[in-house]
């Protein structure tokens, strides 16, 4: 059984049952939501007999913390003590129509914002992959130190690290995000960012493929840039692979990015370790990247068709069947790296 390790804040999401901006008198449904725990839950649903997932965090000693533990325990390994006198974070999600959403947070000073590297470190050894997002370091200086420390220790111990930028404008500015994300990039083996996020944080008007080349440098071996329903591109220094994605009627896009990440990772983990994937020859790795992109796009598309972060996540067979039954999925595009975009300085 492969070991997937992640850490970060999971919140109670109050998902509006109506279309429109925030209304304190409106009706809301409570869900458990957190980018890192979402990926852990999703990858376990895809590969329950292949990957074990551990999620590390801190929760308030409150009803919201109780609900999170109830939802996650038994599905992933949970290392998240409930701390008396500290609160569990809350996200209020409103749907504005056309797939657009607005988020409001009540997470300042939450228990998870005080997560330290010492709480994650005991779970590091034996991991096949450590997964982080740009949300965690945005929560507090303590979380920023913890994230960079664990990423660095993982690399020192030969453990691959995957990073999803997951930019949240309510948490930090593009300038602050860029400064920290570029430090995180030094330790990320696999880097994923949305094209819109890349443009917001780094600018430059580059295409997804150009951003994918830009971010691959140093120890970052594979980069993935997503473009919503138009799919995603992956680049490993030798091959540029693109899958054009799948069009669906979008009911709720929240959780789709996490589903894509879980699907992409599962596309690798289904038959390989992450270390083995990085060690492949260029042609074999390009084939695996395309398969992983297809699975990630299928998972992301299906999650958009229902409300909830992880509730709509398909099984591996469901995602594969969906992809096989569609004619709008893109083809593999592979090129040699003859004119790479300048990497980050």
Catalytic machinery residues: 258
Q: What is the 3-state secondary structure (H, E, C) of 187-240?
A: CCCEEEEEHHHHHHHCCCCCCHHHHHHHHCCCCCCEEEEECHHHCEEEECCCCE
Tell me the helix, strand and coil percentages in the chain, rounded to 5. Answer: 40, 25, 40
Q: Is 340 helix (H, G, I), strand (E, B) or coil?
A: coil
| 53 vs 46: CA distance, rounded Å | 12
* Radius of gyration from C-alpha coordinates of the chain: 19
Q: Which residue has the tokens 């599962």?
A: 266
| 302 vs 322: CA distance, rounded Å | 9
Tokens of 318: 């469901």
């Amino acid at each position: 059984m492969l070991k997937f390790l992640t850490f970060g804040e999971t919140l109670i999401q109050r998902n509006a049952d109506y279309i429109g901006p925030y209304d304190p008198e409106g009706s809301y449904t409570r869900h458990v939501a957190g980018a890192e725990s979402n990926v852990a839950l999703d990858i376990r649903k895809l590969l329950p007999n292949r990957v074990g997932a551990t999620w590390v965090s801190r929760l308030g000693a409150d009803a919201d913390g109780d609900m999170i533990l109830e939802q996650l325990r038994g599905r992933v390994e949970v290392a998240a003590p409930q701390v008396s006198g500290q609160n569990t974070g809350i996200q209020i999600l409103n749907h504005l129509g056309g797939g657009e959403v607005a988020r409001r947070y009540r997470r300042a000073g939450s228990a998870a914002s005080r997560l330290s590297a010492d709480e994650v470190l005991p779970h590091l050894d034996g991991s096949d992959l450590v997964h982080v997002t740009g949300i965690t370091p945005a929560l507090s200086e303590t979380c920023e130190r913890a994230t960079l420390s664990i990423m660095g220790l993982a690399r020192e111990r030969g453990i691959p690290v995957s990073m999803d930028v997951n930019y949240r404008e309510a948490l930090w500015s593009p300038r602050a995000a860029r400064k920290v994300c570029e430090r995180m990039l030094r330790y990320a083996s696999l880097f994923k960012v949305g094209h819109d996020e890349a443009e917001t944080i780094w600018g430059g008007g580059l295409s997804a493929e150009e951003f994918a080349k830009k971010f691959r440098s140093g120890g970052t071996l594979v980069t993935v840039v997503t473009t919503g329903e138009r799919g995603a591109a992956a680049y490993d220094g030798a091959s540029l692979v693109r899958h054009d994605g799948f069009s669906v009627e979008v009911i709720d896009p929240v959780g789709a990015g996490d589903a894509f990440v879980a699907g992409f990772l599962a596309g690798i983990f289904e038959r390989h370790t992450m270390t083995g994937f990085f060690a492949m020859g260029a042609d074999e790795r390009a084939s695996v990247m395309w398969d992983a992109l297809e699975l990630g796009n299928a998972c992301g598309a299906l999650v958009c068709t229902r409300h909830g972060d992880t509730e709509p996540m398909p099984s591996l067979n469901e995602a594969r069947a969906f992809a096989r039954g569609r004619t709008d999925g893109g083809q593999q595009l592979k090129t040699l790296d003859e004119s790479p975009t300048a990497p980050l300085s």
